[in-house]
Structure 1
Amino acid sequence: MAVTAGRRLRVVVAPDSFKGSADASVVAAALAGGWRRARPGDEVVEVPMADGGEGTLDAVLAAENATERTESVRLPDGRAHLARWALVGDRAVVELAECCGLPLVGSSDPLGADTEALGTVLCAVLDAGVAELTLAVGGSASTDGGSGALRALGLRIVDRVGADVVPGGAGLLEAARVDRRGLRAPPVRGVTVLCDVTAPLLGPRGAARVFGPQKGASPAVVADLERGLARWHALLDGDADLAGAGAAGGTAYGLATAWGAVLRPGAAAVACLVGLDQAVSGADVVITGEGRWDVQSASGKATGHVLGMAEDVGARGVVVAGELAAGLPPGARGWSLVDEAGGAGAARRDAPRWLEVVGARAALELAGPV
């Protein structure tokens, strides 16, 4: 995977977002700008990436002939929000984080937070007459097993006396029966759920115990959320151990079980959606990146997947991260924005500037001046 200096190179820049600093499109543009400044004769292609979580919609909008749509939704705290989704021909792409993600909802009510806003968007998608739906579920604020979305789609969840349960994980604790008669049918070509984690629904690696604390749940609330999801599982009787079932607080499980959705690893699916396989064909250098490269990055995350694609085509793999907290795969080269900027604060405050600096440095160190 050596880079031959002195000839025109094909360089593909395919980073994930740097959460809290820059989205994937900004990251890609800055890295590509730095490389072009250092080596203006090279062919540099930008393909912003995501792993099925936040940023998936933007990656699709940047890469495909997509039309952006919006739908007014109600967040769990009652605020109105205009959620974006994309129409690509007769296929819809929806991102849960755009509808009711943690940055929108916050972590003040982990038991009451739900996915009703997602369901509202899914109803709009069905009303648009789409034939296929791709749903990215990372970045959720709730642990309701997707019950809010399914209720918006017409599923009834009632307690022992036949009354509708309250929203969120709290409602699942009281759930005694589900009534599917009013549930709207999925699109004719089906629903694909992109998962950014492989967690099962329940247990020590499941939705409540691993991700509940990130959404504001205390140990006692985590225990309640776990019991609620177990009750949900008893009612729906799906595969709680399915890889990715615990994604988005169990939303992946709910949609797979009650709506027939197929779960897929997010990074590979997004790479297909944005045409990354065609982009890397014939590449000499493939640059990817994320806010923090760690031991999980090579397993299912966008950066690890992009590096694997680079290796498959014999290209030199490069990782640019805010912080390099683990070793890179053999043959890959890495740069840290924190090291370049002299500290984490400086790197976050002006991430595009330091990304451009690193892009230029990578070009000169890997291939030399034109």
Structure 2
Amino acid sequence: MRARSIVIAVDSFKGTIGAAAAAGALARGWAAARPGDEIRLLPMADGGEGTLDAFAAAVPGARRMPVTVTGPDDHPVDASWVLLPAGDGSGPTGVVELASTSGIELLGPDALRPWDAHTRGFGEMIAAALDHGVARLVLGIGSSASTDGGTGMLTALGARFLDDRGRPVAPGARGLADIARADLTGLRPLPPGGATVLSDVTHGLLGPAGAAHVFAPQKGAAPDDLPRMDAGLTRLSTVLGGDPDAPGSGAAGGTGYALRVWGADLVPGAGAVADLIGLSAALAAADLVLTGEGSFDGQSAAGKVPTHVARLATDAATPVALVAGRIADDVAVADLAGFAASVSLTVLAGSVAEAMADPARWLAEAGASLARGATDA
């Protein structure tokens, strides 16, 4: 049996297992069935949870830098950013993930705070990376707990948002409508190489398709809250300036907008992560790539990790297999046509509940199943 080169480039299986752990489980299953194969783990992300893991696992010399920050509910959170070594002489890069500092997963389903949750911890982590002297920032902004328009982040970086009496406004969405003036004189500058923001959201900041109306309900906001939250974001944009309609401005409760005002560039997350971890070169040297995510559905074709990996694999003439927690009923046959094989953990386990209860076990089983089905070229 000829040894084969396998690349595993999966996203996190949201809410059940991170990208690095998912890749490791698939690798264990594959190795059990085909122990002679060479397996390379390149866990992926699109800017949400798992972004730090992707860089830490894929970039040689990457170091986690622990910091305690203020969580979205004001409780301290022990988190970290990732320091990437300078590869081109331009200086080190700092990777900061909003999900681990100001993310919704830090709040239980019964502890969501739609009006008071904020992004201050995200800004504190960015400040820690700047204090270390990074030359460039890569910022993942998925999985936000708040709709504060990024004011918490900017405040942690030195901005001040004041009411008509010159007092700091309340944090979170609660204070947005009271903003009369934004004082940016103390706002820290971008590092020399700038900041690249990873996001798979293209919504603008305001209106029916904006941050409040589309995403705030996921964070605990009631229908009656949405017009008032949108009005607060409108007030923020009037005072702060910038372009609230720019694609991605609505990401992370408006944090995308605030980062644009700061001077950062927003890019599609999956593509940027793939570039930074050298995925294309790895695929060109591989015999097969395994990719996947928790739920492969009708939106997956719009640029999420599995579709992006499949596109790169096609360019490299490398077969690609899909592993998903579930493959939704709305997935068209054409959406699966680019995959040489596909496995649903729900089908393997017999139910969604069983698959979610022990994802590592079923990912290993999926890896073994795909390996047993592999034939020598």
Superposition TM-score tier, normalisation by shorter sequence: over 0.9
Inter-partner Cα distance in structure 2 for 1:76 and 1:316: 42
Greater CA drift, 163-172 or 67-76: 67-76
Counterpart AA for 2:20: S
CA, structure 1 residues 136+331, in 2 after alignment: closer, same or farther (shift >3 Å)?
A: closer
- AA aligned opposite 1:215: K
RMSD between superposed Cα atoms in Å: 1.6
The aligned residue for residue 95 of structure 1 is 97
Gaps of 5+ in 1: 1-5
> Corresponding residue for 2:112?
108
Indicate yes or no: 2:65 matched with 1:57. Answer: no
Aligned residue for 1:68?
64
**1 CA distance for matches of 2:285 and 2:56?**
24
Structure 1 residues 40-189: aligned runs within 5 Å: 40-64=35-59, 65-89=61-85, 90-106=92-108, 107-189=111-193
Partner of residue 250 from structure 1, selected from 254, 267, 276: 254
2:89 equivalent in structure 1 = none
The answer on whether the counterparts of 1:284 and 1:314 sit within 8 Å (CA) in structure 2 is no
TM-score, normalised to structure 2, is 0.92
Cα displacement string for residues 282-305 of structure 1 (whole angstroms, at most 9, x for unaligned residues): 322211011110011121211111
Matching residue's letter, 1:53: G
Instruction: Report Cα offsets for 1:2-39 as digits up to 9, x if no partner.
Output: xxxx6433221111111222111121112122222222
Counterpart in 2 of 1:360?
368
- In the TM superposition, what are the counterparts of 1:1-370 in structure 2 within 5 Å? 7-64=2-59, 65-89=61-85, 90-106=92-108, 107-257=111-261, 259-325=262-328, 326-327=331-332, 328-332=335-339, 333-367=341-375
Q: Which has the higher contact order (CA 8 A, sep 6+)?
A: 1
Q: Using the alignment, how far apart are the partners of 2:66 and 2:82 within structure 1? A: 8
**How far does the alpha carbon of each residue in 1:238-258 deviate from its partner, in whole angstroms, 9 at most, with x for none?**
12222211111110110111x
SS at match of 1:212: helix
* Percent identity of paired positions between Structure 1 and Structure 2: 48
TM-score relative to the length of structure 1: 0.94
Unaligned runs of 5+ in 2: 86-91
**Amino acid paired to 1:299:** A
Paired residues of 2:98 and 2:141 also in contact (CA < 8 A): yes
User: C-alpha separation between the residues in 2 aligned to 1:256 and 1:331?
Assistant: 35
Partner of 1:3: none
Q: How far apart are residue 183 of structure 1 and its match?
A: 1.0
Greater displacement, 206-215 / 325-334: 325-334
Aligned-pair CA distance for 1:263: 0.5
Q: Is the 8 A contact 2:41 2:57 kept in 1?
A: no
**Contact 1:137–1:196, Cα closer than 8 Å, also in 2:** no
Which residue type is aligned with residue 69 of structure 2? V
Alignment CA distance shift 1:96-1:357 (3 Å)? same
Q: Which amino acid aligns with 1:126?
A: L
**1:37, 1:293 → 2: CA distance?**
26
| Cross-structure match for 2:88 | none
Q: How far apart, CA to CA, are the structure 2 residues paired with 1:108 and 1:45?
A: 38
2:17 & 2:151 partners in 1: Cα distance?
Answer: 32
The answer (yes or no) to whether the contact 2:10–2:306 under 8 Å persists in 1 is yes
Match of 2:77, SS state, is strand
Tell me the distance in 2 between the aligned counterparts of 1:23 and 1:108.
22
Q: Cα distance 1:283–1:185, how it changes in 2: closer, same or farther (>3 A)?
A: same
Q: Number of aligned pairs? A: 363
Give how far 1:66 is off: 1.2
Once the two structures are superposed, residues 27-83 of structure 1 have per-residue CA deviations (whole angstroms, 9 ceiling, x without a partner) of 111212222222223222211111111100011111112111122212243311112
> Separation in 2 of the partners of 1:25 and 1:130?
25
Q: Distance in 2 between matches of 1:298 and 1:7?
A: 33
CA distance in 2, matches of 1:348, 1:82: 26
CA contact 1:197–1:300 (8 Å) conserved in 2: no
